[in-house]
A and B are shown apart, each in its own frame.
Chain A
Amino acid sequence: MTTRTSLLTIAALLVAAAGVAGAQDARLALIRDNATRDVVNAQLVSASSMRLPAEPFVSKALEGVAKKATLKSIRSAMAALEKRMKTAYDLLGPSATVDELAAGADAISMGVSEKTIKQMRDRAPNRSIAMELGVITELVARGVPAKKAAAMMLDLMARGATGVQLTALGRDVQGDVAAGLKPDVALDLRGRGVLSLLPPPPTVSNVNVRPR
C-alpha cells in the first residue's frame, strides 16, 4: 500500500467515524437504558441510509421513554415508523419537508390511503401540505370515514381553502363529535360551511370544442 493510498484510507475512515458520531443525536442522552439507546441509534443509521430524517425517529423513541414503553415496544414502534416514513417519502417526493413526512406517516398510521396522500400532493406540488395532512388525519381519528374525509379534503384544496379554514374545520368537527354528533354528519355540515365561503370550482374549458 502506498503512502497516498494509506492517507486516502485514513481519510475515509475518519469521515465514516465522523458520520457515525453525527448520527448520534444529543437528545438520546435522555434514554438511560443502553440497550434502548443502541436500538435507537441503529434505527437512526438505518433511516439515514434511506434518506429519511432523524427527527421523527428521535421523537418516537423519546415518546416511548416518556410512556415507559419496553425495549421491544420501542423497537417495534420505530420499525413501523420507518415503514410509514418510507411510504410517505415515496408518495410525497424527495422535496418533502420533515414536517410533511412526519404528517404523512401519521396519516398512514391513522388509515388515510396512499392514493389520497398522492392526490393531495398533486393538488399542491410546490408547497408543504403538512397542515392538510394533519387535518385529514384528525378527521379520520375522530371517526370520519377515510374516503369521505379524503373527498372533502381534496375538494377543499381544489377550491383553495386556507390553512386557517382547514384547521378551523378540523377543530369544529372535533367539537361536534365530542358534543355527540356523528363524525360524517359533522364533516358534511362543517365542510359545506367552508365550501360556501370559497369561489366556485373551475369549470372545464370548452374553447377547444367546436359546436356541431
Chain B
Amino acid sequence: MITDERDEVIDRAARSLSALPMVNPMAVLEITAAAAVHRSMRPARARAVLGWFRRPSLSLASTGLLMAAALVVGFVTRAALTGAAETLGTQTSEHPVLTPAADAGAASRGVPVPMVYDAKNARSVTVVGDFNSWDPAATPMTRVGVDGPWAATVFAKPGRHVYAFLVDGTTLVADPRSPRARDNDYGGDASVLMVPTP
C-alpha cells in the first residue's frame, strides 16, 4: 500500500514538471555565471562603509560623528595633561622655589613685576590676584635670606590689577606698600597694582 501511494505522488510531480516549459541548459549556465560575477563585484565591507559616508545625504552625520570623536579624544587628552599640571603645581607649592619653568612664556603672560612682603613669622607666602586668577599655587614667594622678606615676580598685563598676599595658606593680607582696593563684591583687604605698557 505504501509503495503504491509513493508512486502516485511521484507520478503527480512528474506530471507537474512536464507541464513546465523546457529549460535551456545554456541559459541556466549563463545566469549562474552572471550571479557569480555580480557577487565578485560587490564592494567589500570597508568600501561599503566608506561609500556610506561619501553619500551626500550623510555628510552631516559623518561630519558630526568625526567632530565628536575628535572632541572626545581631545578632551580626554586635555584632562590627562591638566591632571599632570595640577600635580606639579601641588609639588611646587610645598617647595616654593621659582624654577626656570615658572618663567617660561613670561612674555605672553605680561610684564614682570617684583613683589616683596615682610612677614618674619610666616611659614609660607603666596601672591594672589586677578593676574593669576587668585590661584594660591600660582605664585609662591621665597624668603630672601634667613629672616628676610618674601619675594616673587608676577607677570601682569598692562592695566589695573587687584591683589593680596596669602600668608600660611589661610590669611589674606593687603600689601602695605600699595594703595588699597575697594571691593564691592566680597569686601576684605586687597591692594592695587598699576602695570604700565612695556
Listed in ascending order, the chain A residues whose CB lies under 8 Å from chain B are: 4, 7-8, 10-12, 14-15, 17-19, 21-22, 26-27, 29-30, 55, 58-60, 62-67, 69, 73, 76-77, 80-81, 99, 102-103, 106, 109-110, 130-131, 133-135, 137-138, 141-142, 162-164, 167-168, 170-171, 174, 178
Contact = CB atoms under 8 A, between A and B. Distances in A.
B195 interface: yes
Interface stretch (B2-10, B14-22, B180-188): B180-188
Contacts of A134: 158-161, 194
Interface of B: 57-58, 60-61, 64-65, 67-69, 71-72, 74-75, 79, 82, 85-86, 128, 130, 133-137, 157-161, 164, 166, 172, 179, 181-182, 184-188, 192, 194-197
A162 B67 contact: no
A196 to B, nearest CB: 20
Given A66-B166, A163-B196, A174-B192, 6 more contacts: A12-B68, A62-B135, A77-B186, A163-B197, A167-B197, A171-B194
Which applies to chain B's interface (DSSP): helix, strand, loop or mixed? mixed
Given A14-B71, A141-B192, A4 B58 contact: yes
A178 B157 CA distance: 25
A123 to B, nearest CB: 16
A26 B86 contact: yes
A99 B157 contact: yes
B192 A11 contact: no
B179 A62 contact: no
A135 B160 contact: yes
Given A14-B68, A62-B133, A163-B196, A138 B186 contact: no
